[in-house]
Amino acid sequence: ALDLEQLANQYTGLAKLHRLIYIAEHCPGLRLEALRMAINYVTTTYNVTLYQHLHKKLAESVGALFLPDVATQPSGSQEIPTFDAAWVETKSKKSALKLEKLDCDLKNYKANSIKESIRRGHDDLGDHYLNCGDLSNALKCYSRARDYCTSGKHVVNMCLNVIKVSIYLQNWSHVLSYVSKAEGTTEVSETSKEKDPNQVVITRLKCAAGLAELAMRKYKAAAKNFLQANFDLCDFPEMISTNNVAMYCGLCALATFDRQELKNVISSSSFKLFLELEPQLRDIIFKFYESKYASCLKLLDEIKDNLLLDMYIAPHVNALYTQIRNRALVQYFSPYMSADMRKMATAFNRSVAALENHLE
């Protein structure tokens, strides 16, 4: 079973909210708990619109629970939050005042032509819009900072802000375009030393690119990007968790890597640390590499339900599983000129008929 609290604690900001909403929409058993957690968290932001939307969803869910033909009632442990109109009014006023102040500051900076202050002013406005859940305005403000960047470091910072919002908007080509822009700066392209502070930036860029490639069904490219992430520097709760990096990379590698490439994954000292967070996945990869396909496929079936509640991997589970099964079949066949279907069905934990259908 999915531990919702443990899962939600891996994220902050919209990453946490988007994931909880996805679970609420796709798992009736966890819907109330996910909505309750999302509502409690959204009250720490200025996102009044989302607060209202979540309460509407909650009212619909609670209403459905009290229909006579539904036996389940909300358990006492699940305190159902009530809609707080005073909170909405107070937050809306505070948000408007803050926006007015930030706007006024920016006008003053522009009047005095202070480039660095103008850049920071655009960033501050972007941060505020993001906290309000207004992604299109956040994106505009972060992008406008570009004209006032006076160093490579500023350009990288601007790219990271645009990438963050583009991930929330699921605008994947935009993500990849700004990853390239950031990688083109001397700050990033000339980073070689282990202790270089820009190593954190490189890991963040690789994770963002991996996420975008995964979303665009370029599974091999996704795995290669994730493999370049540094475990010790992977701390981006507003985007992705270390568990996600392990799972997304592992599944994409299983689906697309040849034997030698998979061996490199297994023997990678840095990726080993990611895999330790997902022992089931580690077992799956080892079983696959050791040609123990029946246990590998059985373990894959066991983790499938939880994967289907992960907003980024869920749309790809069936495609990835099919590719993994196909690779297993090819590897199983390769030593034999002719294959015994019964023996093969046993090895794959499938019936002969199911296997024949798959091979057709």
pLDDT at 211: 99
Tens of pLDDT along 263-297? Answer: 999 999 989 999 999 999 999 999 999 999 999 99
pLDDT at 133: 98
pLDDT at 71: 44
Tens of pLDDT along 74-99? Answer: 444 457 889 999 999 999 999 999 99
Q: Tell me what percent of the residues of the chain surpass a pLDDT of 90.
A: 79
pLDDT at 69: 47
pLDDT at 128: 98
Residue 166: which of 117, 101, 216 has the closest Cα?
Answer: 216
Structure tokens at 109: 């900076």
Identity at 149, one-letter amino acid code:
C
Please check whether residue 176 is in contact with residue 209, taking contact to mean a CB–CB distance below 8 angstroms: yes
pLDDT at 70: 43
Tens of pLDDT along 19-35? Answer: 999 999 999 999 999 99
Helix H, strand E, coil C: the string for the chain is: CCCHHHHHCCCCHHHHHHHHHHHHHHCHHHHHHHHHHHHHHHCCCCCHHHHHHHHHHHHHHHHHHCCCCCCCCCCCCCCCCCCCHHHHHHHHHHHHHHHHHHHHHHHHHHHHCCHHHHHHHHHHHHHHHHHHCCHHHHHHHHHHHHHHCCCHHHHHHHHHHHHHHHHHCCCHHHHHHHHHHHHCCHHHHCCCCCCCCHHHHHHHHHHHHHHHHHHCCCHHHHHHHHHCCCHHHCCECCCECHHHHHHHHHHHHHHHCCHHHHHHHHHCHHHHHHHCCCHHHHHHHHHHHCCCHHHHHHHHHHHHHHHCCCCCCHHHHHHHHHHHHHHHHHHHHCCCCCCCHHHHHHHCCCCHHHHHHHHC
- Whole-angstrom distance, CA of residue 94 vs CA of residue 8: 27
pLDDT at 352: 79
pLDDT at 72: 47
Task: Give pLDDT < 70 ranges for the chain.
Answer: 64-78, 192-195, 334-339, 359-360
pLDDT at 80: 84
